Structure 1
Amino acid sequence: MNTFNTKKLIAKQAIIFSSTDSEISIHIFMEPFIYQDEIVSPIIRLDYIDLPSTKLRDLVGKSLTFTKGDLDGSIYLDSAHHPVDVVSLSFFLSRQNKLTILVKGMYDFEYEGLDGVANEAFVLKTFLSSCDVNED
């Protein structure tokens, strides 16, 4: 059996989705990797986020902190949804003038059990884009 290495969880791109202003999600797409002889491309899905806006220009320089359980998400690995508890989101411009998101939190791999992997703190950084096409 191949042991899962959490260092394989590298953020590739994040996208804001919204169906209404009160239903905002961020999906963080991870770099693909091989696990148990299969190529996997996990996504961390964070739903019902209380963001000040879905417009990228409005998020520049903003930071949000959350207490445990305020912003939960999940990552699907090894046929199970593993909880992800986010403690902060920060938004800043990169040197390429693109919006970057910094996400800090905890993977809860003990909840469903993942190859004997313990819960682990993480920090992810990647570019952020938006699917919000409203003109206002």
Structure 2
Amino acid sequence: MTAALSLAAINHVQLAIPAGGEQQCRAFWGELLGLSEIPKPPALASRGGCWFQGSGFQVHLGVELDFRPALKAHPGFEIRGLRALADRLADHGYLVTFSNEVPGQDRFHTVDPFGNRLEFLELHS
């Protein structure tokens, strides 16, 4: 008998960055968004990029030599304090575009320093 398959959670999302983009990642994901940088495994560290830890998830930023930003595909991060984050991003020069297309949540899209699309959402209580 085969064990039942059960997807439990998203462990991490992977986003591409251009070569040499690690400092910009640290400024955006670490300083601006407040995620903690975690060490990459030694076997992967030589490839460049960096990893960050959130509450129950990781963001892996990997170097892609023929980098092109993800303009439509994107991770969606559920947060508390959506408006405060939107203001913080806007204050740092990031375009914030709110949307009310999904009932029961407030959300906006923005981009990381390399143009990768990101969504942040807050569910209504």
TM bucket by the smaller chain?
under 0.3
Which structure carries more helix by proportion? 2
Q: Scaled by the length of structure 2, what TM-score is found?
A: 0.25
Greater strand percent: which structure? 1
Q: TM-score w.r.t. structure 1 length?
A: 0.23
